[in-house]
């Protein structure tokens, strides 16, 4: 299981707000989640998506295309991939691991 940190930046929108494009991306992610391919979490600055790496590449390509489908001519997408293969870890497992250290005084 891998985790992708993705930011889709629509360029050339009618104004500075891109929330309507982000909402469309979240709707597409919900479809993939309902198919059982991914889990995801929207944050104020990015979207985190977890799943099989093959599925994640498919999902990233699909959400990258959405602003083009709405008539934009340019989209910048930033991707970071955390692909750990020695054990299966989910997003929440990573958070729990950090919280455990915090609960133990940083140790």
Domain segments of the chain: what residues? Answer: 2-103
Over the chain, what is the mean pLDDT?
95
pLDDT digit string (tens) for 54-81?
999 999 999 999 999 999 999 999 999 9
Beta carbons of 70 and 28 less than 8 angstroms apart: no
Strands lying side by side in the sheet with 47-51: 38-42, 47-51, 2-11, 74-83
pTM metric for this prediction: 0.89
Pairing mode of beta strands 74-83, 47-51: unpaired
| CATH entry, 2-103, from 3.30.70.930, 3.40.50.10860, 3.40.50.720, 3.30.1380.10 | 3.30.70.930
**The pLDDT value given to residue 40:** 98
């Amino acid at each position: 299981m891998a985790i992708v940190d993705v930011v889709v930046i629509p360029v050339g929108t009618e104004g500075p707000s891109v929330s309507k494009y982000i909402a469309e991306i979240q709707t597409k992610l919900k479809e993939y989640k309902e198919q059982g391919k991914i889990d995801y979490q929207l944050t104020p600055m990015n979207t985190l998506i977890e799943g099989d790496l093959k599925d994640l590449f498919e999902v990233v390509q699909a959400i990258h295309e959405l602003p083009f489908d709405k008539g934009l001519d340019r989209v910048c997408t930033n991707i970071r991939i955390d692909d750990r293969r020695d054990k299966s870890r989910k997003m929440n497992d990573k958070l729990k691991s950090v919280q455990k250290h915090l609960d133990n005084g940083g140790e």
